[in-house]
Amino acid sequence: MTLSPRDRRALILGGAALGLIGLYFGVLEPAGGWYARLRRQHAAQADRIREAVNAARRLASFQDQIQEWQERTGPLVPRRGYSEQITAVGGRIIAAAGENQVQLQGATPTAPTPWPDDRRLEQALIHVDGQAEWENVFKFIAALYRIEGILSVEQLELTGEGKGGPIKLRVSVSVLMTAGQPEEIRRS
């Protein structure tokens, strides 16, 4: 059988078109799909690793900061209830006053109130009255901040004659403790 040049050209073109279609569906399209899947998996795994690295960095950073604070103030999370905490903190306040030549005249705790951001915690104030030289006042306040459980100085009142003598000190510190104390203590 002989083919005319026109038929031969048509066959060649048709064969080439079929070859191209076969190449696309047999090679290019599967290869493209495989590559797209590979890229998606790679991106997902990269996100997972990025998240892990960020978490590890955050963890290390927080551990450093927490260790630094704990070296200054002791354990950060209150572990005691109202009575224990007030007793412990009160004792430490008396000791700090003695160490810094503060003539302590009184230390009065208030009843606990819930800590608004965390219902597992409570807060109470301790009002401290005393008398000391100017420089000892600040040593005493610095010592207060090293006592475990004290959150902050809430109120401070210094009164003196302005002639270099002892000054009267009235300071209120907030103390954090774990919640769950008997109801009668709250009411008192």
At 86, give phi and psi (nearest 5°). Answer: -65, -40
The binder of other proteins chosen from 11, 23, 36, 76 (CB under 8 A)? 76
Tokens of 111: 């009843």
Output 101 or 139, the one with its CB closest to other proteins. 139
Which residues from 131-150 bind other proteins, rule CB under 8 A? Answer: 138, 141-142, 145
User: Which part of the chain contacts other proteins (CB under 8 A), choosing from 3-11, 12-20, 22-30, 153-161?
Assistant: 153-161
In total, the chain counts a number of residues equal to 188
Residue 122 corresponds to which tokens in the numbers above?
């409570």
Give yes or no for residue 158 binding other proteins (CB under 8 A).
yes
Residue closer to other proteins by CB (options 141, 179) is 141
Compute the least distance from the CB of residue 128 to other proteins, in Å: 9
Report which residue type is found at 175: V
- What are the backbone dihedrals phi and psi of residue 119, each rounded to the nearest 5 degrees, phi first? -70, -10
Going by C-alpha positions, the residue among 1, 171, 151 that lies closest to residue 77 is: 151
Residue span 18-57 as binding mask against other proteins, x where in contact by CB under 8 A, dash where not: -----------------x--xx-xx--xx-xx-xx-xxx-
Residue 180 touching other proteins (CB under 8 A): no
Residues with Cβ within 8 Å of 78's Cβ and at least 6 positions away in sequence, in order, are: 85, 121, 149, 176, 177, 178
For residue 72, report the phi and psi dihedrals to the nearest 5 degrees. Answer: -85, -40
Nearer to other proteins, 20 or 36 (CB): 36
Distances (CA, A) of 5 to 8, 16, 18, 106: 5, 16, 20, 118
Cβ-based nearer residue to other proteins, 7 or 118 = 118
- Structural tokens at position 155: 């109120």
Contact positions vs other proteins (CB under 8 A): 35, 38-39, 41-42, 45-46, 48-49, 51-52, 54-56, 58-59, 62-63, 65-66, 69, 73, 76-78, 90, 94, 106-113, 116-118, 123-125, 138, 141-142, 145, 151-162, 172, 174, 176, 188
